[in-house]
Amino acid sequence: MAQPLVKKDDDRDDEAEFSPFLGIEKGAVLQEARVFNDPQLDARRCSQVITKLLYLLNQGETFTKTEATEVFFSVTKLFQSRDIALRRMVYLMIKELSPSADEVIIVTSSLMKDMNSKTDMYRANAIRVLCRITDGTLLTQIERYLKQAIVDKNPIVASAALVSGIHLLQTNPEIVKRWSNEVQETVQSRAALVQFHALALLHQIRQSDRLAVSKLVTSLTRGTVRSPLAQCLLICFTSQVIRESNMNNQTGDRPFYDYLEGCLRHKAEMVIFEAARAITELSGVTSRELTPAITVLQLFLSSSKPVLRFAAVRTLNKVAMTHPMAITNCNIDMESLISDQNRSIATLAITTLLKTGNESSVDRLMKQITNFMSDIADEFKIVVVDAIRSLCLKFPLKYRSLMNFLSNILREEGGFDYKKAIVDSIVILIRDIPDAKESGLLHLCEFIEDCEFTYLSTQILHFLGIEGPKTSDPSKYIRYIYNRVILENATVRASAVSTLAKFGAMVDSLKPRIFVLLRRCLFDSDDEVRDRATLYLSMLGGDGAIVETDKDVKDFLFGSLNVPLVNLETSLKNYVQEPSEELFDIDSVPKEVKSQPLAAEKKAPGKKPAGLGAAPAAPTSTVDAYEKLISSIPEFSSFGKLSKSSTPVELTEAETEYAVNVVKHIFDGHVVFQYNCTNTIPEQLLENVSVIVDASDAEEFSEVSSKPLRSLPYDSPGQTFVVFEKPDGVPAVGKFSNMLKFVVKEVDPATGEAEEDGVEDEYQLEDLEVVAADYMVKLGVSNFRNAWESMGPHFERVDEYGLGPRESLAEAVSSVINLLGMQPCEGTEVVPTNSRSHTCLLSGVFMSSAKVLVRLSFGIDGPKAVAMKLSVRSEDESISDAIHDIVSSG
Amino acid sequence: MLILESCPKVKNILLLDSEGKRVAVKYYSDDWPTNSAKEAFEKTVFTKTQKTNVRTEAEIAMFENNIVVYKFVQDLHFFVTGGDDENEVIIATVLQGFFDAVGLLLRGNVEKREALENLDLILLCLDEIIDGGIILETDANVIAGKVASHSMDSGAPLSEQTVSQALATAREHLVRSLLK
The verdict on residue B117 lying in a domain is yes
CB contact A23 to B (< 8 Å): no
**According to the model, what pLDDT value does residue A284 have?**
79
Do B136 and B7 meet the contact criterion of CB atoms below 8 Å apart? Answer: no
Quote the minimal CA–CA distance from B169 to chain A in Å: 6
Task: List the single residue in B with minimal CA-CA distance to A377.
Answer: B48
Residue B169 lies in a domain: no
**pLDDT (0 to 100) of residue B177:** 55
Q: Which domain range does residue B130 map to?
A: 3-152
The reported pLDDT for the residue numbered B157 is 38
ipTM of the modeled complex:
0.84
How far, in Å, CA of A180 to CA of A159, rounded?
15
Task: Give the pLDDT confidence score for residue A728 in this predicted structure.
Answer: 79
Residue A320 to residue A354: CA distance in whole angstroms: 9
Distance CA A657, CA A764 (A): 12
Is the Cβ of A57 closer than 8 Å to some Cβ of chain B? no
The C-alpha of A391 sits at a distance from chain B's nearest C-alpha, in angstroms, of: 25
Identity (one letter) of the amino acid at B83?
Answer: G
- pLDDT, tens digit (0-9, with 9 covering 90-100), for A649-700: 888 887 778 888 888 888 888 888 888 888 888 888 888 888 888 888 888 8
How confident is the model at residue A552, as a pLDDT? 67
Contact B7 A204 (CB under 8 A): yes
Q: Nearest C-alpha of chain B: how many angstroms from A84?
A: 5
Q: What is the largest CA-CA distance in chain B?
A: 59
Distance CA A705, CA A874 (A): 35
pLDDT at B42: 93
Please identify every stretch of chain A with a pLDDT value under 50, giving residue numbers as ranges. Answer: 1-15, 595-621
Is the CB of B156 less than 8 angstroms away from the CB of A6?
A: no
Mean pLDDT of B146-173: 54
Instruction: Decide if B94 is inside a domain.
Output: yes
Q: How confident is the model at residue B28 (pLDDT cuts 50, 70, 90)?
A: very high
Q: How many domains does chain B fold into?
A: 1
Q: Is residue B168 part of a domain?
A: no
Res. B23: pLDDT tops 70: yes
Tell me the shortest Cα–Cα distance from B149 to chain A, in angstroms. 7
A684: which strand partners? A746
Residue A797 backbone dihedrals phi, psi, to 5 degrees:
-125, 125
Q: Which helix (H) or strand (E) holds A332?
A: helix A331-336
Mean pLDDT of all residues in B73-100: 93
For residue A11, what is the nearest residue in chain B, using CA coordinates?
Answer: B173
Q: Which domains does chain A have, with CATH numbers?
A: 599-770 (2.60.40.1480), 773-889 (3.30.310.10)
Which DSSP symbol is given to A648?
A: P
How far is B70 from B57, CA to CA, in rounded Å?
9
Q: How many other C-beta atoms can be found within 10 angstroms of the C-beta atom of residue A628?
A: 12
B19 in any annotated domain: yes
Instruction: Flag if A8 and B117 touch (Cβ within 8 Å).
Output: yes
C-alpha A267/C-alpha A277 separation (Å) is: 16
CATH code, domain carrying B76: 3.30.450.60
pTM for the full predicted model: 0.62
Q: Tell me which chain A residue has its CA closest to the CA of residue B57.
A: A305
pLDDT at A251: 53
